[in-house]
Structure 1
Amino acid sequence: MLNNDRLLVQILLLALLGACLWVLAPFVSALFWAAVLAFASWPLMRLLSNLLHGRESTAAGLLTAGWMLLVALPLVWLGSNLAQHVRDATELVKDVQVQGLPPPPDWLPQIPLVGERLVRAWHSIDAQGAAFFASLKPYMGQAGNWILARSAQLGGGVLELVLSLVLVFFFYRDGPRMALFVERGLERLIGDRAEHYLELVAGTVQRVVNGVIGTAAAQALLALIGFWIAGVPGALVLAIATFALSLIPMGPPLVWVPVTAWLAWHGDYGYAVFLGIWGMFIISGVDNVLKPYLISRGGNLPLVVVLLGVFGGILAFGFMGLFLGPTLLAVAYSLISDWIGHGQPAQVVVTSTEVEKEREGRSS
C-alpha cells in the first residue's frame, strides 16, 4: 500500500525543484558559462590557492579580477575600434556621394564574360551617384534596423558575460563543495556508476575546452601569417582580435573581411583577393576540421558522434551547444553501451547424465 505521507513529500519536493528552476531560468546561460570557465581554469585556481597557503576566497577574487581585466580590456578595445570603423564608413559614403567613385581597377575588365559589364555598371553608378544612393535609402533603413537589433543582442551578451564573470567567483570559492553535492546526488540517483559518469562529463567538457582554445589559437596564428604576407598594419593586434572572436561562431570573418575590404579600397587588389581566399578557406576553414579532431582526441567516442554533437548542439542550443551537444551524446553513448554490454544471466544446462547420477545418489 502506498505511503501517502512519503508521496506527498515527493510531490512537494518536485514542486520546490520546479520553482527553483523557474527562478534560475533567466540566469541559466550565465551560470553555465561561469561553470565552464571555472572548470576549464580550475588548475590555475588550485595553483593560486596553494601559493596563498589555502586562502581560497582570496585566490578566487584574484583570479576573477584577472578574468575581468583579460576580457574587459579586449571588449573595450573592440568597441572603440568598431565605433571608429562606423564613423569611417559614414565618411566614406559621404565622400563617394560628393566626389564619386574612384576609377575602376585595371583587372576588372579582364574578368571573363562579365568584365565589361562590371566596368559599365561602375561608370553608371559613378555618374548616377545621387540617384543611386537615393534608391538605397529604403534598404539602408532596413540595414540600420538590423544593425540596431544586433547591437541590442551584443549588449545583452556583454551583460551576460559580465554576470558570468561575477558568478565564476562563487564557483571558484565553493567548487569542491558543489562537486561533492552533485556526486552524492548522482550516487543516490544511479548508484555506483555516478563517479564514472562524472568523469565522462568532466573529460568531455575538458576536451571541448581544449578544442575551442586550440582552434582559436590556430586561427589566430593563421590570421597573423596572412596579415603579415598582405602587409596589413597592426597584424599582431588583429591576430589577438581573431583569437578572441574565434571563441564565438563565425567570429574570425569579423576581422579578416573588413581587412580585405580595406586592402581593396586602398588599391591592393592582389593582396585583397589573397586575403579573402586565405580567410575563407584557411582561417575559417580550419575550424571545421581541427575543432572536432581535438575534441575527439583522447576519448573513446567515435568521431561521427563528436561531429554530430558539436554541429547539432550549436544548431539546437546556440553557442552553449558547443559544450552541451558533445556532453549529452557522450553520456547517452556511454549509457547505451553499458546497457548493451550488460550480459544476460547465464542459464544452467543440466544434461541427462547428470540427472541419472543424481537419481542414483538419492536411491543409494
Structure 2
Amino acid sequence: MAGTSDKLERRAFLFSLIGVSLVFALMMQPFFAPIFWACAISVIFYPFQKRVLARWPNRRNLVALLTLTLCVVLVIIPVLFVATSFVTEGVGLFQKVQSGEVNLADYVDKIKQAFPGIQALAERFDIDLERIKQQAVQAFTGAGQFLAKRALAVGQNTFQFFLNLALMLYLAFFLLRDGDAMAAMLIRALPLGDEREKLLFAKFAEVTRATIKGNLVVAITQGALGGLIFWWLGIPGAFLWGVVMAVLSLIPAVGAGLIWLPVAVYLYAVGDVISATVLLLYGIFVIGLVDNILRPILVGRDTKLPDYVVLFSTLGGLAMFGITGFALGPLLAALFVAFWGIFIREFNEGEPAAALLEQQSDRSGSE
C-alpha cells in the first residue's frame, strides 16, 4: 500500500512540475527574444570571459561586466547604428516612390524594351509579364509601407525596445557571471543522463557560436562588398542596398544576389554595358564566393550540418521566429541531428553517449 502511495505522489508531483513549467514558459513567452539573445551573447563571449576569469578568479562581477561592455561596444552599438541608418534611408526611398520621383514601373519597362526576347519567351510559356510587373511594384511598395510602419512602431514603442534591450543585457550579465553553475544545475536536473546532456549543451554552444558569428561575418562582408561596388559604380543608395544585401545574405545561396543581379540586368537594359558587366562579374566572383567559401567554413563545418540543411533550417527559422530564426533555425536542426545521433548509437548500436561525446570532442579538436 505504501508503494502505491509513493507512486501516486511521485506521479502527482511530476504532473504538477510539468504544469508549473508550462505555465512559467507561457509567462516568459513575451520575453523569448531577449532571453534567447542573452543566452547567445553569453555563449559567444564565454571563451573571452573564461580567459579573463583565469587571471582574476575572484572578480566574477567585474569580469562579467567587462565582457558585457565589450559586447555592447563591438556588437550592439554598431548594429543599432546600421539598423537606424537602414530604416532612415529605406523610408526616404519609399517616400520618393510614393511621390513619383522614383517610378518602379519605368525601370521594369526599360528592361522589357531592352530584352524583347523576354516578351516572346513569356508569351510562349503563357506568362503575363504585365501582371508580374504589377506584382513586383506592389511587393516593393508593400515592403516600403511595412518598413515605414515598423519605423513608426519603433518610434512609438521606444520604451518597449529599450526595455527588451535592457532585459537582454541584464540577463546576459548573470549568465556570464554564473553560467557554469547554471549549466551544472541543468545537467543535474534534466533526466536525460549526464553524458547526453553534456553532449547537447556542447552542441548548443557550438552551433550558436557558428551560426551567429559565421552568418554575421558573411552578412557584414557581403553587405560591405556590395555597398562598395554600388558606390564605385555610382548607383544611388549604395549604403541602403549594402545593408539590404547584408540582411538578405542571412539566406544562404541566394541572399545578396536578389539585389545585385536585378541591378546588373537593369544596367544592361539602359545601355551601361561596362558597369553592368563589372557588377555581374563582381557579384559572381567576389560577393558570391564569400557565400560559397566563408559560409561552409564558418557555419557548415562547425555545425556539422550539410549546406542544404543549413539553407532550409535558416529559411524555416526566419519564417517561424523572424530575424531571430537565422540563428535559431540551424540550432534546432543541429539539436535534431544530435538527438537522433544519440538514439541511433545507443538504441540501435549500443554505443553510449559518452563515446559519442568523445568523438565529437576529438573531431572538433582535429579541426
TM-score class normalised by the smaller sequence:
0.5 to 0.7
Distance 2:245 2:143 in 1: 26
Residue from 188, 203, 207 that aligns with 1:200: 203
Counterpart position of 2:184: 183
Structure 1 letter corresponding to 2:145: L
Counterpart position of 1:80: 88
**TM-superposition CA deviations, 1:218-253 (whole Å, max 9, x none):** 424642664476355886x56963675256437636
Distance 1:278 1:112 in 2: 26
Counterpart position of 1:148: 145
The Cα of 1:10 is off from its aligned counterpart by 2.2
Change beyond 3 A, Cα 1:9–1:46: same
Paired positions, count: 319
**TM-superposition CA deviations, 1:280-311 (whole Å, max 9, x none):** 78636753664245323256x4x53x632542
**SS of residue matched to 1:336:** helix
The Cα of 1:36 is off from its aligned counterpart by 1.6
- Is 2:219 aligned against 1:216? yes
Counterpart position of 2:168: 168
Residues 97, 103 of structure 2: 8 Å contact kept: no
Greater relative contact order (CA < 8 Å, ≥ 6 in sequence): 2
Q: Which has the larger radius of gyration?
A: 1
Distance 1:105 1:5 in 2: 76
The Cα of 1:168 is off from its aligned counterpart by 3.3
Task: Trace 1:299-310 onto structure 2 (pairs within 5 A).
Answer: 301=304, 303-304=305-306, 307-310=308-311
Residue from 5, 23, 42 that aligns with 1:19: 23
The Cα of 1:20 is off from its aligned counterpart by 0.2
- Is 2:332 aligned against 1:324? yes
Q: Which moved more, 1:330-339 or 1:221-230?
A: 221-230
Residue from 275, 279, 290 that aligns with 2:279: 275
Distance 2:230 2:103 in 1: 27
Counterpart position of 2:312: 311
The unaligned stretches of length 5 or more in structure 2 are 122-129, 353-367
- Report the aligned-residue RMSD: 4.9
The Cα of 1:337 is off from its aligned counterpart by 2.7
The Cα of 1:17 is off from its aligned counterpart by 0.5
TM-score w.r.t. the length of structure 1 is 0.64
**SS of residue matched to 1:223:** helix
Change beyond 3 A, Cα 1:289–1:202: same
Distance 1:11 1:106 in 2: 64
Distance 2:227 2:258 in 1: 15
**Identity of matched residues, %:** 17
Residue from 66, 70, 80 that aligns with 1:59: 66
Change beyond 3 A, Cα 1:177–1:48: closer
Change beyond 3 A, Cα 1:326–1:229: farther
The Cα of 1:329 is off from its aligned counterpart by 2.0
Structure 2 letter corresponding to 1:78: F
Distance 2:279 2:91 in 1: 24
Q: Which moved more, 1:282-291 or 1:214-223?
A: 282-291
Structure 2 letter corresponding to 1:183: A
Counterpart position of 1:125: none
The unaligned stretches of length 5 or more in structure 1 are 118-131, 345-364
Counterpart position of 1:40: 44
